Amino acid sequence: MLRSFQNLKGTVTLFHVPTSIISKNIAAVIKQKYPVQSTHNFNVEVTESRPTTDQLSIIRSSKGVPAEFKEETSSGVLGKVPILVDWDNGKVAIDNEAQALKILSDKDNESN
């Protein structure tokens, strides 16, 4: 059973905000570099849904979250800016393209 868990692909999620230039840029990189039928050892999901309450709780406790977002509510800014989350490593980029691309690059390097 443990062996089957070792073979599970990790997941990175982009909570995409179509009106945000940063979000559009991150989504374009994901579309180009991480196609649906990817050979990478992790999955990349892009969703236009806002994070759930449970997801927000995880996001707030993750590495890379600026202090001003730690106490945000789901109806606050966190639902209106792009958020990229590496669920396996607890890394988050909030409205930050460079940080999001670094998370993706680190995840790529991790799976090689």
DSSP string, 23-56: HHHHHHHHHHHS-TT--SSEEEEEE-SPPPHHHH
CB 79 within 8 A of CB 95: no
Q: φ and ψ at 69, to 5 degrees?
A: -95, -10
Residue 12 lies in a domain: no
Q: Is residue 57 part of a domain?
A: yes
**CA-based max dimension of the chain:** 44
Give the number of domains in the chain: 1
Q: Examine residue 7 and state whether it is found in any structural domain, yes or no.
A: no
Residue 11, domain member (yes or no): no
pLDDT (tens, 9 = 90+) of the chain, 112 residues, equals 444 555 567 899 999 999 999 999 999 999 999 877 667 788 999 999 988 989 988 888 887 777 777 766 545 666 789 999 999 999 999 999 999 999 999 998 886 5
Query: Within a domain: residue 27?
Result: yes
Establish if 44 belongs to a structural domain: yes
Residues of the domain holding 56: 17-110
Half-sphere CA count of 57, side-chain side, radius 13 A: 3
Flag whether 34 is in a domain.
yes
Model confidence, pTM: 0.85
